[in-house]
Amino acid sequence: MKTSKLKTRREFLKITATGTIAAGVLPILMEAKNGIPNSSLSVSGPIVISTWNHGLPANEAAWKILSAKGTAIDAVEKGVNVIESDPENTSVGIGGAPDRDGRVTLDACIMNHNGDCGSVACLEHIVNPVSVARMVMEKTPHVMIVGDGALAFAIDQGFKKTDLLTPKSKIAWKEWLKSSQYKPVINIENHDTIGMLAMDHLGNLSGSCTTSGLAYKMHGRVGDSPIIGAGLFVDNEVGAACATGLGETVIRQCGSFLVVELMRQGISPTEACKIAVERIIKHEKNIKDLQVGFLAMNKKGETGAYAIHSGFNYAKYDTNGNKLIDSDFSDR
Ligand code: SD4
């Protein structure tokens, strides 16, 4: 299995090196509809992409691993760990906004090139839920562990119990309590769930997704981010996709799975993300205040994104460096 994949990759590089594209030298930028370079074909080996501005520092950590010939699975774990561990980030890991009861409950998942996956949901007191998800994948016969069970498992694996409610997010929550109005506003602050997709030097794909979910959600609410097929999906023969935005709408369409299945039919990453977004638009009644964005990478290293509204962006790190790219959007 591994040999044939390596052979395919070598053949691919050989073709591109002797064809019009020199491997490792010339990425082709394709102009998106709105004039923003959104999708690119890179034939230069490792690539990592991740959602929102915080994708830039996350990619830096992932790239250190990828450029040293490390694995995609290590890259996507260590990359998003940086954001989980940042107390200033109010949508992921420590410092994440709490639920309406003041409890910070985290969702995360991870998936490798073999199709193995692990997930935790409604996990409290652990700074790096994606690393617990990886332990679920590697050390248990299960895919998903939630709530107290996930916390007990994490502690058993040596994770430290930490208070995740920072003074800053406590003040914001107390302020919210004055009106207790539940109005999810996604995308406005431009930092949200982080989803990361990576291809390593062997051409293997992996992905991760981690979030504190919707601010002031009902206690126990779980979004799309820890659900394999919704917030993240990886098929090493085809590509990988992840989602950000209002999770309920993504779950209803099996969003990331849908994007990967569309790419399986030969549809480009951007177009696949667009079709998935249109499925959501068609189904949801009120899309004015609702944002969803998908991010995808195919097996050729082509990447793309699409969102309902403007404002979604992602960071891409390849041999050309680490850049923020604005997603295409529908804005209907
Ligand atoms: C959720 N999808 O819990 C997450 C939130 C998010 O960008 O992605 N925000 O529904």
pLDDT tens column, 6-18: 333 333 333 233 3
What does the alpha-carbon distance between residue 293 and residue 312 come to, in Å, rounded to a whole number? 7
What is the pLDDT, as a whole number, of residue 331? 84
φ, ψ of residue 286 to 5 degrees: the values are -115, 95
Q: Select which of 193, 210, 249, 303 is catalytic.
A: 193
Which numbered atom of ligand 1 lies nearest the CA of 222?
3
| Residue 105 CA, ligand 1 centroid: distance in Å | 13
Q: What percent of the chain has pLDDT over 90?
A: 80
Q: Pinpoint the alpha helices (H) of 204-265.
A: 247-252, 255-264
What is the pLDDT, as a whole number, of residue 44? 52
What is the pLDDT, as a whole number, of residue 22? 29
Query: In this structure, what token pair is assigned to residue 170?
Result: 């406590």
Query: In this structure, what token pair is assigned to residue 143?
Result: 């895919």
Residues with Cβ within 8 Å of residue 236, at least 6 apart in sequence: 5, 113, 114, 115, 204, 205, 299
Q: Is 284 exposed, middle or buried (0-12, 13-18, 19+ CB in 10 A)?
A: middle
CA-closest residue to ligand 1 atom 3: 213
The 10 Å Cβ neighbour count of residue 179 is 8
Between 225 and 7, the more confident residue is 225
273 pLDDT higher than 50: yes
- The binding-site residues of ligand 1, defined as CB within 6 angstroms of any ligand atom, are 186, 192-193, 211, 213-214, 223-225, 244-247
193 among known catalytic residues: yes
Q: What are the residues facing 314 on neighbouring strands?
A: 51, 325
pLDDT per position as a tens digit, 96-134: 999 999 999 999 999 999 999 999 999 999 999 999 999
37 pLDDT higher than 50: no
What does the alpha-carbon distance between residue 226 and residue 111 come to, in Å, rounded to a whole number? 11
313 DSSP assignment: E
The average pLDDT across 12-33 equals: 32
4 pLDDT higher than 70: no
62-68 own/partner pairs: CB under 8 Å, 24+ apart: 62/196, 62/198, 62/317, 63/317, 63/322, 66/198, 66/200, 66/201
